[in-house]
Structure 1
Amino acid sequence: METKHLIAKDKFLNESIKKAAILLKKGEIVAIPTETVYGLGADATREEAVDKIYRAKGRPNDNPLIVHIGSKEQLFELVTDIPPYVEDLIDKFSPGPITYVLKSSGKVAKNVTAGLTTVGVRIPDNPVALELLRYSEIPIAAPSANISGKPSPTTAQHVLDDLEGKISAVLDGGPAKVGVESTVIDCTEAQPVVLRLGKITTDEIQQVVGNVEVASTLSDNSEKPKSPGMKYKHYAPEVPLILVKQKSQMEQVINKEKSKGSRIGLLVSASNAKQFQAEKIIVLGENEEEIAERLYNALRSFKQEEIDVVICESFPTSGVGRAVMDRIERAATSIID
């Protein structure tokens, strides 16, 4: 299969979006840009189209997919039994990096929900994605456009690295701005529960709805997750990753790996970049937003032929930093407290 690279910039914008929409309406799968990461999209109402997502990604079919729509009105068509606070959340945060899990109205394909009675829906804050959704007039199921388990893609090239020849097209809208997946909030009860951390924080949600809980990761492998990112290991680079929680231990861990003859890669903040030596050092940034935006690109840059182990320092957990640390912990082979 030839994977078309459709560039959605300047004069190519409308033409590329139209081509992507035609493919989606034919039941093909197309990688699309969002503000969080690139998603692998299919018509959410067609089971055979959605099944192509699972096959291309190698994704477990008990892991539900998030549905992207272009408006609040379209969102309400896909769900039912909506608590009053949901509209307040939508008015505050959508379009944006937040997904609402609600009871499905039955209009999306069964394999979108992985057999659950609920469905996750969101309105992305990306002009190319919104134009595609409005032009195609279909809800688009779109998990991250990567091989399952690998770091999520934040550029069209990341998508091609994983899925070229396996999907019909990638709609290139430039780099993702947020860099980590959306916050997912379960809105099926009187009190909402955050299922996955993202750029929109629990504190921000509390300011709108009052009390909110944060779910723990599922440990029972027989239980179906309500949200992506709850059950399976994600985000891992090609080589083992060691997360060091205490900065005072970084030098010790680095020296231990050097004594083994390991070629070392480091993930560090700008303030600590000059303190350590290694074969490859990637500086993620000065603040939580920069670190989030650059994280997946950094994880993808470590290759087996260059590096034997990645050592990552712990980053601040204010704002989106909490989501960043959640992703790093899930990617880690080992964690040193």
Structure 2
Amino acid sequence: MSTDTMEASDQDIAEAVRRLKAGGLVALPTETVYGLGADAMNPVAVRRVFEAKGRPADHPLIVHLSDADQLTSWARDIPREAIALARAFWPGPLTLILKKEEDVPDEVTGGQDTVGLRVPAHPVAQKLLRAFGGGIAAPSANRFGRISPTTAQHVRDEFGAQAGQGGHEVFVLEGGASAVGIESTILELSGSTPRILRPGAVTAEQIAAVIGRRPEEGSGDAEAPRVSGSLAAHYAPRTAMRKVAAERLRDFVNAFRHSGRRCAVIAHSQPPLAEYPHHWIMLPAEPAGYARGLYAALREADAAGAAIIVIEAIPTGADWVAVNDRLGRALAGAGITPV
């Protein structure tokens, strides 16, 4: 497959479909992050996703569909609110948790009676799904617990050119950089109360505007369905991390400079010190732009050879909920308590 173009060719799509139908793995671009996909109705293929990622088998996968008309093939007892939300936000970064149809493999759902479904907006994902004709089960295309990929090169960096863990081939489709940059909002609609189990680009306020009631936020209780990306430690680099308030940032990194240690900085409001010799990454100071660049920045910082990644604390308003969620999990996964 050619890797010098920003979008998959018709030949690439045909090869990806061939591999999916043969039970293989395909990394596909979506507007959120790149996914590691398999035929969602093939239990053997789905197990290969878990093996390649090193992902626990009881963690459910999200099934990607070409359009909302496929909902009834995957879910039952579909509430009117789900139909309204699908019309409002699909294709787009919203995953709906619904009661699954009986023939949906347990490998996809982690043995639960619910399934996560979404219709991605990325044109390459749409082209692949239409050509394939079925659902593609696809978590993020990275090792379990590590930083999600937002480019095809990130996937190749994660798995090697073609080989996944255990020798599984991963065929990588090109699609440029993901436009959203963090994973989809996950909304549970399998019970009596809508509940956001993972925040994302589609906000509680936007959901409330469609269904007429504000969803609860957080898992709430132990009976809530298990979903992707809900572990306290996730999306983490290998380098230790520390979150530092804006007013303390320069003093903190200067202390590292004077101690002779290198650090990588991810900031949004403070440009690098002129005399600062280490790695300084600036992200936009607004939530959509920050989210779009976050995972690429974490990967760049992780590769900088620094002793620590220093994150300038970001705002805590409603528009920043999803980004704060990902940063909090990354900090927990990197093993440094936020300050």
* TM-score, length of structure 2 as denominator length: 0.90
Pick from 71, 96, 110: which aligns with 2:106? 110
Write the distance in 1 (CA, Å) between the matches of 2:44 and 2:2.
23
Partner Cα distance (1:97, 1:146) in 2: 19
Match of 1:273 in 2: 271
- The question of whether the paired residues in 2 share the 8 Å contact of 1:54 and 1:61 is answered with yes
Partner of 1:120: 116
- Distance in 1, matches of 2:52 and 2:14, equals 23
Deviation at 1:168?
Answer: 3.3
The alignment covers a number of residue pairs equal to 328
Q: Give, in whole Å, the separation in 1 of the partners of 2:254 and 2:220.
A: 33
Q: Structure 2 vs 1, CA of residues 274 and 212 (structure 1 numbering), >3 Å: closer, same or farther?
A: same
Cα separation, partners in 2 of 1:176 and 1:330, compared to 1, 3 Å: same
Structure 1 position 136, deviation (Å): 0.6
1:229 aligned counterpart, secondary structure? coil
Q: Which residue in 2 is equivalent to 1:188?
A: 190
Three-state SS of the structure 1 residue aligned to 2:96 is strand
TM-score (norm 1): 0.91
Does the residue aligned with 2:9 lie in a helix, a strand or coil?
helix
Question: 1:320/1:32 Cα in 2 relative to 1: closer, same or farther (>3 Å)?
Answer: farther
Contact 2:264 2:304 in 1 (8 A): no
CA distance in 1: counterparts of 2:13 and 2:220, whole angstroms: 37
Runs of 4+ in 1 over 3 A off after TM superposition: 4-10, 255-261, 274-278, 317-320
Q: Which amino acid aligns with 1:229?
A: G
In 2: Cα distance, 1:128 partner to 1:17 partner: 8
Q: 1:129 to 1:305 in 2, by over 3 A?
A: closer
SS at match of 1:30: strand
Distance apart, 1:206 and its partner CA: 1.3
Q: What CA RMSD, in Å, does the superposition of the two structures yield over aligned residues?
A: 2.2
Q: Which residue in the other structure is 2:321 paired with?
A: 322
CA distance in 1, matches of 2:36, 2:4: 16
Change in 2 beyond 3 A, CA 1:158/1:216: same
* Distance change (3 Å), C-alpha of 1:192 and 1:217: closer
Deviates more, 1:106-115 or 1:250-259: 250-259
Q: Displacement of 1:232 after TM fit? A: 5.1
Tell me whether 92-101 or 320-329 shows the greater mean CA deviation. 320-329
Q: Deviations over 1:148-201 (max 9, x none)?
A: 111100000000011121233001111111000000000012320000011111
What residue in structure 2 maps to residue 238 of structure 1? 238
1:129 aligns with 2:159: no
Q: CA deviation at 1:9?
A: 5.6
Distance 2:218 2:103 in 1: 27
d(CA) in 1 for partners of 2:282, 2:225: 34
Once the 2 structures are TM-superposed, how far is the Cα of residue 8 of structure 1 from its aligned partner? 7.4
Percent identity over paired residues: 38
What does the per-residue CA deviation read over 1:282-326, in whole Å, with 9 as the maximum and x for residues that have no partner?
A: 011232111111110111112466211011012234565221111
1:147 aligned residue (140, 143, 148): 143
Q: Which residue of 2 aligns with 1:308?
A: 307
SS in 2 for 1:34: coil
Structure 1 letter corresponding to 2:231: K
Q: CA deviation at 1:5?
A: 5.5
Counterpart of 2:295 in structure 1 is: 296
**Which amino acid counterpart does residue 185 of structure 1 have in structure 2?**
L
1:53-93 CA-to-partner distances (Å, cap 9, x unmatched) read 00100111111100000111112210011111111111111
* 1:77-129, Cα deviation, whole Å (9 max, x unpaired): 10011111111111111110000000110232211101111010000011110
Unaligned 5+ segments in structure 2 are none
Distance 1:23 1:203, change over 3 A: same
8 Å CA contact 1:5–1:169 kept in 2: the answer is no
Q: Distance in 1 between matches of 2:155 and 2:220?
A: 27
Give the aligned partner of residue 264 of structure 1.
263
- Select between 231-240 and 85-94 the one with higher mean Cα deviation: 231-240
**Residue 30 (str. 1) matches residue 26 (str. 2):** yes
Letter in 2 for 1:272: Q
